[in-house]
A and B are shown apart, each in its own frame.
Chain A
Amino acid sequence: MAAQVSPIQAEGLGHSSVVSAPEPPPELERAPLVANNRGFGWISNRVASLCEGAAPAWWWVLFIPSVLALGMLLFMVSYQVSTGVGVWGNMRPVMWAWDIVNFVWWIGIGHAGTLISAILFLLRQRWRTAVNRAAEAMTIFAVMCAGIYPALHVGRAWYDWWLFPVPNSNSIWPQFRSPLMWDVFAVSTYFTVSVLFWYMGLIPDLAVLRDRARSRLRQFLYGLFALGWTGSNRHWSNYEKAYLILAGLSTPLVLSVHSIVSLDFSVSQLPGWHTTIFPPYFVAGAVFSGFGMVLMLLIPLRSMFKLQDIITMRHIDVMCKVTMATSSIVAYSYAMEFFIAWYSGNPNERFHFLNRAMGPYQWAWFMMISCNVLIPQLFWLKRLRQNLLAVFILSILVNVGMWFERFVIIVVSLHRDFIPSNWGYYRPTWVDVCTYAGTFGLFFTLFLLFIRFLPMIAVSEVKGVTPQADPHNPLAGAKPKEVLYEA
Chain B
Amino acid sequence: MSATARDEEQIGPETRGPNTAGATTAAPGSCVRPQESSPVYWRSLDELAQRAQFRQWIGREFPEGAGEWADPVSRRQFLRLMSASLLLAGAGFAGNGCRRPVERAEPFGKMPEDYAHGVPRYYATAMPAHGSAVPLVVKSNDGRPTKIEGNNLHPDSNGGTDRFAQASILDLYDPDRAARFARGGNTCNAEAAYDFLAEVGRKARQNRGQGLCFLVERNNSPSRARLRKSLGDQCPQARWHVYDPVDLDIHRRAATLAFAKPVQPFWQLDKANVVVSLDCDFLGSEGDVHNHIRRFSQRRRLEKAEDSPIRLYIAEGLMSVTGFNADHRLRLPGSAGAPLAAALAAGVLDAVRNRAGGAAAGPAVAALAAEVRKLGGSNLDALAKAAGVGSQWMAQWIGACAKDLAANPGRSLVVAGYRQPLEAHLLVHFMNAALGNLGQTVSFRPAPEADEGGLPKLARALDAGEVETLVVLGGNPVYTAPADLDWAKTQRRARTVVRLGYIEDETFPVCDWHLPAAHYLESWGDARTSDGTLVSIQPLIAPLFGGLTELEVLARIGGAQVTEPYGIARETFAGLCGSVPVEAAWRKFLHDGFLADSAAQPVQVSLNAAAVAEGLARVKQLSPLSKDRLEVIFHRDYSLDDGRHNNNGWLQELPDPVTKIVWDNVVLMSRQTALELGLKNSDRVEVKLGERIVRGPIWVQPGMADYSVGLALGYGRRQTGRVGRNAGFDVYPLRTTANQNIALGATVRAAGGACAISCTQNHWSVEGRPIVREADLEHYRQHPDFAKEPDAEMEELPVVAPLYPNPFDQLKRKGLHQWGMSIDLNRCVGCSACMLACQSENNVPIVGKDQVARGREMHWLRIDRYYVGRPRAAKAGPQGGESFFDTFRTEAEQQFERWIEDPQVVTQPMPCQHCEAAPCENVCPVNATSHDQEGLNVMAYNRCVGTRYCSNNCPYKVRHFNFFDFNKRPIGQFYLGPFGHRPDDEWDLIKMIKNPDVTVRMRGVMEKCTFCIQRIEQAKIAQKDRAGASGDVVVPTDSFTTACAQACPAEAIVFGNLNDPKSRVSRLKKLDRDYTVLKALLTKPRTTYLARVRNPNRAMPETGGTR
Q: CB within 8 Å of B: which residues of A?
A: 79, 82-87, 89-96, 153-157, 159-160, 162-163, 170, 172-175, 177-181, 184, 264, 267-270, 347, 351, 354-355, 358-360, 414, 417-425
B913 to chain A, nearest CB (A): 11
Are B769 and A421 neighbours in the complex by a CB distance under 8 Å?
Answer: no
Number of B residues, CB within 8 Å of A: 63
A-B pairs under 8 A by CB, number: 190
Give, as a whole number of angstroms, the nearest-CB distance from B911 to chain A: 13
Given A93-B855, A419-B771, A269-B1081 contact (CB < 8 Å): yes
Instruction: Find out whether the CB atom of A86 lies under 8 angstroms from the CB atom of B953.
Output: no
Assembled-state Cα–Cα distance A180/B890 (Å): 33
Give the docked Cα–Cα distance between A157 and B944 (Å).
11
Instruction: Tell whether, in the assembled complex, residue B888 and residue A420 are in contact, meaning their CB atoms are under 8 Å apart.
Output: no
If A93-B951, A268-B952, A420-B765 touch, whether A178 touches B923 (CB-CB below 8 Å) is yes
CA distance A268 to B951 in the complex (A): 11
Q: Which of A86, A94, A347, A360 has the most CB of B within 10 A?
A: A86
Residues of A within 8 A of B1078 (CB): 418-419
Please name all residues of chain B whose beta carbon is closer than 8 Å to the beta carbon of A170 when the two chains form the complex: 943
CA–CA, A354 and B883, complex, Å: 14
What's the Cα separation between A180 and B920 when bound, in Å? Answer: 13
Residue B761 at the chain A interface, CB threshold 8 Å: yes
Stretch among B345-353, B530-538, B975-983 lining the A interface: B975-983
Q: Is B977 touching A268 in the complex (CB atoms < 8 A)?
A: no
Q: Chain B: which residue is nearest A179 at the CB level?
A: B923
Inter-chain CA distance A267–B922, complex, in Å, is 10
A92 to B922, CA, bound (A): 20
Given the interface pairs A154-B947, A268-B953, the reply to whether A420 lies near B767 with Cβ below 8 Å is yes
Question: A residues within 8 A CB of B949?
Answer: 95-96, 178, 180, 264, 268
Asked if residues A93 and B1004 are in contact (CB atoms below 8 Å), the reply is no
B1003, closest chain A residue (CB): A84
Q: B951 near A95 (CB under 8 angstroms)?
A: yes
Min distance, Cβ A416 to any Cβ of chain B, angstroms: 8
A and B contact pairs by CB, cutoff 8 A, 25 listed: A83-B974, A84-B962, A93-B952, A154-B947, A155-B961, A155-B1003, A156-B945, A156-B1003, A156-B1005, A173-B927, A175-B922, A175-B927, A178-B949, A181-B925, A267-B922, A268-B923, A354-B887, A417-B957, A418-B956, A420-B765, A420-B769, A420-B771, A420-B866, A421-B763, A421-B910
Would you give the 0/1 interface string for B876-909, flagging 1 where the beta carbon is closer than 8 Å to chain A?
0000000001011011000000000000000010
B946 on the interface (CB 8 Å rule)? yes
Contact between chains at A83 and B977 (CB < 8 Å): yes
Chain B's closest residue to A423 (CB) is B763
Most buried by A among B763, B769, B925: B925
Given contacts A85-B1003, A418-B1081, 15 further A-B contacts (CB under 8 A): A86-B964, A86-B975, A96-B952, A156-B1003, A157-B945, A162-B926, A174-B925, A175-B926, A267-B923, A269-B1081, A351-B767, A417-B957, A419-B864, A419-B955, A420-B767
Closest 5 CB pairs of A and B: A155-B946, A155-B1004, A83-B977, A86-B963, A91-B855
A85 touches B946 (CB 8 A): yes
Residues of B within 8 A of A91 (CB): 854-856
Q: How far is the CA of A163 from the CA of B946 in the complex (A)?
A: 11
Task: Report the minimum CB–CB distance from B1084 to chain A (whole Å).
Answer: 13
Collect the chain B residues with CB atoms within 8 Å of residue A351's CB. Answer: 767, 887
Bound state CA distance, A153 and B961, in angstroms?
Answer: 13
CA of A347 to CA of B963, assembled, Å: 32
Given A155-B1005, A172-B926, A358-B885, also A79-B943 (CB < 8 A): no
Quick one: which of A155, A177, A181 contacts B944, CB cutoff 8 A?
A155
Pairwise interchain contact B955-A269, C-beta atoms closer than 8 A: yes
- Shortest Cβ distance from residue B761 to the other chain A in the assembled complex, whole angstroms: 5
Query: Could you say which residues of chain B place their CB within 8 Å of the CB of A179?
Result: 923
Chain A proximity of B242: nearest CB distance (Å): 42
CB neighbours (8 Å) of A160 from chain B are 945
Pick from B910, B924, B953, B1004: contact of A156, CB below 8 A. B1004
B446–chain A nearest beta-carbon distance, Å = 46
Bound CA–CA A180/B964 (angstroms): 23
Chain B residues lying within 8 Å of A155, measured Cβ to Cβ, are: 944-948, 961-962, 1003-1006
Partner of A92, one of B766, B855, B944, B977: B855
Asked whether, in the complex, the Cβ of A180 is within 8 Å of the Cβ of B925, the reply is yes
> Residue among A84, A91, A179, A267 with the most chain B CB within 10 A?
A84
**B957 pairs with A419, CB closer than 8 A:** yes
Contact at A154–B945, with CB atoms within 8 Å?
A: yes
Closest to B942 in A: A170
Measured CA separation A424–B890 after assembly (Å) = 10
Q: How far is the CA of A51 from the CA of B798 in the complex (A)?
A: 68
Q: Name the CB-closest residue of A to B764.
A: A420
Would you give the 0/1 interface string for B98-112, flagging 1 where the beta carbon is closer than 8 Å to chain A? 000000000000000
Answer whether A360 and B890 are a contact pair too, CB < 8 Å, given A154-B945, A155-B961, A155-B1003.
Answer: yes
Against A, the Cβ 8 Å flags (1 = close, 0 = not) of B530-568 are: 000000000000000000000000000000000000000
Cα A424 to Cα B943 with chains together (Å): 29
A146 nearest CB across to chain B (Å): 16
Residues of B within 8 A of A174 (CB): 925-927
B864 touches A96 (CB 8 A): no
* A153 CB to nearest chain B CB (Å): 8
Q: Which B residues are in CB contact (< 8 Å) with A354?
A: 887-888
Interchain CA distance A91-B923 in the complex, whole Å = 19
Measured between beta carbons, the chain A residues less than 8 angstroms from B237 are: none
- A267 shortest CB reach to chain B, Å: 7
Q: How far is the CB of B1081 from chain A (nearest CB, A)?
A: 6
Q: Judging by beta carbons under 8 Å apart, are B957 and A93 in contact? A: yes
- Is B957 touching A82 in the complex (CB atoms < 8 A)? no
The smallest beta-carbon distance between A178 and chain B, in angstroms, is 4
Find the A residue at minimum CB distance from B951: A95
Rounded to whole angstroms, the CA-CA distance of A158 and B976 in the bound complex is 19
In angstroms, Cα B977 to Cα A82, docked, is 6
- What are the residues of chain B within 8 A of A358 when measuring CB–CB? 885, 888
Question: Is B960 at the interface (CB under 8 A from chain A)?
Answer: yes
Tell me, in angstroms, the Cα distance from A54 to B962 when the chains sit together: 51
| Bound-state Cα–Cα, A424 to B759, Å | 10
Task: Let me know if B526 is at the binding interface, CB within 8 A.
Answer: no
Q: Please name all residues of chain A whose beta carbon is closer than 8 Å to the beta carbon of B946 when the two chains form the complex.
A: 85, 154-156
Minimal Cβ-Cβ distance residue in B for A161:
B945
Q: How far is the CA of A96 from the CA of B977 in the complex (A)?
A: 21
Q: Which residue of B lies closest to A183 (CB)?
A: B925
Given A421-B761, A421-B763, are A162 and B964 neighbors across the interface (CB < 8 Å)? no
Q: Closest Cβ of chain B: how far from A424's Cβ, in Å?
A: 5
- A397 to chain B minimum Cβ distance, whole angstroms, is 26
Q: Is the CB of B490 closer than 8 A to any CB of chain A?
A: no
Report yes or no: A156 in contact with B961, Cβ–Cβ below 8 A: no
A264 to B975 alpha-carbon distance, docked (Å):
30
Nearest-CB distance from A148 to chain B (Å)?
15
User: Cα distance A85–B851 when bound, in Å?
Assistant: 12
Q: How far is the CA of A67 from the CA of B1078 in the complex (A)?
A: 50
Interface residues of B in 353-368 (CB under 8 A from A): none
Judge whether B919 is part of the interface by a CB distance below 8 angstroms. yes
With contacts A155-B944, A174-B927, A269-B1081 taken as known, whether A420 is within 8 angstroms of B763 at the C-beta atoms is yes
Considering the complex, give the chain B residue whose CB is closest to the CB of A267. B923
CA distance A159 to B962 in the complex (A): 16
Decide if B943 touches A86 in the complex (CB within 8 Å): no
B762 in the interface (beta carbon within 8 A): yes
The answer on a CB contact under 8 Å between A423 and B762 is: yes
Interface residue B965 (Cβ < 8 Å from any Cβ of A):
yes
Chain A min CB distance to B599 (Å): 41
How many angstroms between the C-alpha atoms of A82 and B1078 in the bound complex?
38
Contact of B963 among A82, A85, A414 (CB under 8 A): A85
| Contact present for B978 and A83 (CB under 8 Å) | yes
B640, chain A: closest CB distance, angstroms? 24
B865 within 8 A of A: yes
In angstroms, Cα B865 to Cα A266, docked, is 31
- The answer to whether B955 touches A418 (Cβ under 8 A) is yes
Contact A269-B924, Cβ < 8 Å, known A172-B943, A421-B910? no
A170 to B943 Cα, complex, angstroms: 9
